Amino acid sequence: MHIPDNFLSTPVWATLDVVSIPTVALMVRRAGKELEDTRIPLLGVMGAFVFAAQMINFPVGAGTSGHLVGGALLACTLGPSPAALVLTAIIAIQAFVFQDGGVLALGANVFNMAIAGVLAGYLPFRLWGARHRKAAIFAGAFLSVLVSAALALSELLISGVAMPRAIVLISVGLFAVSAAIEGAITISVVQAIENLNPGFVQKPDRAGGRALAAIAAGATILALAGFMIASTAPDGIERLGAQLRLSAKANFRAPMPDYSLVSFDSAWIRRATAGLAGLLLVYGVCLAAGRLIGRHRSA
């Protein structure tokens, strides 16, 4: 799920870098308001914990085992902004020290996992955690992995990485399985943590509310729409079509900005913009929903 360098096309990684920078700055400012410098060790240690936790194997059957990714777990225990901050630090360290994920692709990976993933991991917990705790935690963990993976896949497809439909479907299937594993692990660990000390886990407020459920449903629908826009990725599918018709593919390389910084194919720009716009829209709605929820709380 960590995209290395040179997989994404230049407009994609560059745009995501540009998008992520102010977003991370926003998260940092919000986290900074919630905690003083004295909480920095906690965040750092929690980051190290997630790293170490990824070493512990959870048997899931047929001799395979999964491991925790941690976005939802961090969101439930630290809150969304600190969780985003910690995950950003984790992703940066993974990129530099472990070469897990690219440096230019940091914007993309941070957006997928630390921003969208954490948000997707937190919203269900925040909205339904009071009344349907286990389901909310599972949903959060499930969505955080699924959303991050789907975004990564979309970005790869937009970049023109050729993927036959079969592989796309298999990938989505694998994502769903990983997401389910994350859900199971997260519930298990959150419960175990609560048994040790209930204070470790955040308390989602009682009031769910129909309005909030509607916003959440709307956001989810938009998210799905966004993904569909992004991952129709005509490039890959058209390429497949071109192959089946056995037509020459050399000229088909239009949406390959790798090859020239200056001459973009306008159709590609439109598609890429639409895809990214869809994702940004989803993000914007979530953010707005979050603010609304916040105001609703303090009312």
Partner 1 sequence: MHHVLVDRWSQGSTALHRRDPRAKIVALLAFLIVLATTPPDAAATLVIDAALLLSGILISALPLVNLLIRAATVLPFSLTFGLISWLAGDTWRAVGLIEKSYLSAVAVLLLVGTTPLPLLLNGLESLGAPRLLVLVAQFLYRYLFVISEQAQHMRLAASCRHGGEHAGSRKSRFRAAAGALAVLFARSYRRAEGIHRAMISRAFGGHFSLLFPPTFRASDALFTAAVAAFLIVVRIQ
Restricting to residues 8-27, which ones interact with partner 1 according to CB under 8 A?
10, 13, 24-25
Q: Is 177 in the site for partner 1 (CB under 8 A)?
A: no
Largest CA distance in the chain: 64
Closest to 130 measured CA to CA, from 211, 219, 202: 202
For residues 152 and 108, the answer to whether their CB atoms sit within 8 Å is yes
**Contact residue for partner 1 among 18, 34, 134, 164 (CB under 8 A):** 164
Among the listed residues 19, 72, 76, 90, the single contact to partner 1 using CB under 8 A: 90
Residue 167 lies near partner 1 (rule: CB under 8 A):
yes
Given a contact cutoff of 8 angstroms between Cβ atoms, the answer to whether 101 and 162 are in contact is: no
* Closer to partner 1 by Cβ: residue 96 or 217: 96
Among 56, 224, 269, 292, binds partner 1 (CB under 8 A): 56
What is the amino acid identity at position 27?
Answer: M
CA distance 171 to 233: 15
In contact, 178 and 150? CB cutoff 8 Å:
no
| Nearest to partner 1 of 98, 173 (CB atom) | 98
Which residue type is seen at 56?
I
Site for partner 1 in 130-149 (CB under 8 A): none
**Minimum CB–partner distance for residue 111 and partner 1 (Å):** 15
Part in contact with partner 1 (CB under 8 A); list of ranges 146-154, 235-243, 271-279, 287-295: 235-243
In the complex with partner 1, the residue whose CB is nearer, 21 or 221, is 21
C-alpha 114/C-alpha 228 separation (Å) is 22
* Residue (of 229, 105, 106) closest to 158 by Cα position: 229
**Which range of residues in 54-62, 134-142, 145-153, 270-278 is near partner 1 by CB under 8 A?**
54-62
98-127 residues near partner 1, rule: CB under 8 A:
98-100, 102-104
Nearer to partner 1, 200 or 207 (CB): 200
The nearer residue to partner 1, 246 or 299, going by C-beta atoms, is 246
SS3 of the chain: helix, strand, coil, percent, to 5: 75, 0, 20
Q: Is 88 in the site for partner 1 (CB under 8 A)?
A: yes
Number of C-beta neighbours around residue 110 at 10 A: 28
Nearer to partner 1, 198 or 206 (CB): 198
x/- mask, partner 1, residues 186-225, rule CB under 8 A, reads: --xx-xxx-xxx--x-------------------------
Q: Are 17 and 278 in contact (CB under 8 A)?
A: no
Nearest to 279 by CA among 160, 126, 153: 153
Q: Which of residues 254-283 bind partner 1 (CB under 8 A)?
A: 256, 258-259, 261
The answer to whether the Cα torsion of 283, 75, 224, 91 is positive or negative is: positive
By CB under 8 A, residue 64 contacts partner 1:
no
Please tell me whether residue 124 adopts helix, strand or coil conformation. Answer: helix
Residue with the two structure tokens 């989810």: 220
Among residues 101 and 208, whose Cβ is nearest to partner 1?
Answer: 101
Q: Judged by CB, which is closer to partner 1: 124, or 236?
A: 236
